[in-house]
Copies of this chain bind each other. A is one copy, B any other.
Amino acid sequence: MTDASAETLEEQVLGAVEHRREIVNAAIDEDLPIDEPERLYEAVRYLLDAGGKRLRPTVLLLVAEALADVDANPGDVDYRDFPDVNGEDVDVMAAAVSIEVIQSFTLIHDDIMDDDDLRRGVPAVHREYDTGTAILAGDTLYSKAFEILIEGDAPADRVVESVDVLATTCTNICEGQARDIAFEGRDDVLPEEYLQMIEHKTAVLYGAAATIPAILLGADDETIEQLYQYGIDVGRAFQIQDDVLDLTVPSEKLGKQRGSDLVEGKQTIITLHAREQGVDVDGLVGTDDVDAVTEAEIEAAVGRLEEAGSIDYAKEKAQELVETGKNRLEVLPDNESKELLEGIADYLIERGY
């Protein structure tokens, strides 16, 4: 690895993510231009343009690089004409954009359902525009993701398999979101139920990001399967870390009210653990209105969860999942991109926001 001595792995990971983010952003401009009707497409692009680390597309591109065993200097790689197992060109960037587009659609619709006002530090789409436009922007992103995915020029049987993965992923995300909402009214959610929920709500999109490049490039079935499971493992870890960050990161840095999950009564592995330890989770915060809660209330609630060991418990669970996920990468040749995929897994649970 060039300059490996001078950089920590975390710095290398952040640099790799940053570099690929810019390339992905340029590709989003190409594959999802502001079209007519303009107001719709502005709403379609609004959240995508508000920020985001492009972690899922970066995972997708890194898997492609690792499989092709190319030098992972992104400036040298043409993701639009990327060599598959037979040396034929495949546009893996289209697939990367497609994954980010699906992510954006789910955030827009989730924010309507959860009535969240802020996302990425700016008003949610249904606040900046209106609910109807936000529904429609999400619906447009949804179909655009399929249009973009199939433009990737891979052999037709691989495209069909990728479409199947993407469609099943979307169905799972809906099922996970439905469970997440249903859990809010329950105080008897089992840990297995919670893990299944976050697998569907969050992890499957990481699974799709990791497995679709393998499918498009013609990898063998075992590789396709292990990469999917890598995505599931790190995706679950990512969601658990998100639950931790919601409680531990200041609101300004989080881009939304700290502790909002707790206020809204969302079940997380933290609240499940705390309840098992006898903590009165529902009584931790005296309001279910995110706008009415005080920092002091959140601070006290987080203190109780820390005392119960629930936040440490979540961190350990995330750590275990990351280790399992990294082991799945044995199917890949040893190269810098593989190291970065291991590094991203670590980064997902070490990130501060």
Which of A168-176, A245-253, A310-318 makes up part of the contact surface?
A168-176
Which of A19-27, A134-142, A254-262, A295-303 makes up part of the contact surface?
A134-142
Q: Select which of B155, B156, B163 is within 8 A of A146 by beta carbon.
A: B163
Q: Check A37–B139 contact: CB distance below 8 A.
A: no
Using A139-B142, A171-B143, A179-B37 as known contacts, say yes or no to A150 and B132 having CB atoms under 8 A apart: no
Min CB distance A125 to B, Å, is 13
Using A135-B113, A136-B177 as known contacts, say yes or no to A171 and B159 having CB atoms under 8 A apart: no
Q: Select which of B39, B150, B175 is within 8 A of A163 by beta carbon.
A: B150
Q: Check A167–B139 contact: CB distance below 8 A.
A: no
Query: Residues of B contacting A39 with CB < 8 Å?
Result: 178, 182
Query: Residues of B contacting A288 with CB < 8 Å?
Result: none
Alpha-carbon separation in the docked complex, A353 to B175 (Å)? 35
Alpha-carbon separation in the docked complex, A147 to B162 (Å)? 11
Q: Check B132–A181 contact: CB distance below 8 A.
A: yes
Tell me, yes or no, whether A112 is within 8 Å of chain B by CB: yes
Q: Check A174–B139 contact: CB distance below 8 A.
A: yes
Q: Check A150–B175 contact: CB distance below 8 A.
A: no
Q: Select which of B147, B164, B166, B182 is within 8 A of A164 by beta carbon.
A: B147
Query: Residues of B contacting A166 with CB < 8 Å?
Result: 146
Bits for A99-142, please: 1 = Cβ < 8 Å to B, else 0. Answer: 00000000001001100000000000000000111011011101
The interface size of chain A toward B, counting residues with CB under 8 Å, comes to 42
Q: Check B40–A175 contact: CB distance below 8 A.
A: yes
Alpha-carbon separation in the docked complex, A14 to B205 (Å)? 45
Alpha-carbon separation in the docked complex, A138 to B178 (Å)? 12
Q: Select which of B113, B157, B170 is within 8 A of A156 by beta carbon.
A: B157
Query: Residues of B contacting A266 with CB < 8 Å?
Result: none
Q: Check A171–B150 contact: CB distance below 8 A.
A: no
Q: Check B132–A113 contact: CB distance below 8 A.
A: yes
Determine which residue in A40, A113, A142 has the highest number of CB atoms from chain B within 10 A of its CB, and name it: A142
Using A113-B132, A132-B112, A156-B156 as known contacts, say yes or no to A167 and B143 having CB atoms under 8 A apart: yes
Using A112-B132, A132-B181, A179-B37 as known contacts, say yes or no to A160 and B156 having CB atoms under 8 A apart: yes
Tell me, yes or no, whether A192 is within 8 Å of chain B by CB: no
Name 18 interchain pairs, CB-CB below 8 A, sorted by A: A39-B182, A109-B135, A112-B135, A113-B131, A113-B132, A113-B135, A132-B181, A133-B181, A139-B170, A139-B174, A140-B174, A143-B168, A143-B171, A146-B166, A147-B164, A155-B156, A156-B157, A156-B159
| Given A112-B131, A156-B157, 9 extra CB contacts under 8 A | A36-B175, A37-B178, A132-B181, A136-B178, A139-B170, A142-B143, A143-B174, A156-B156, A160-B160
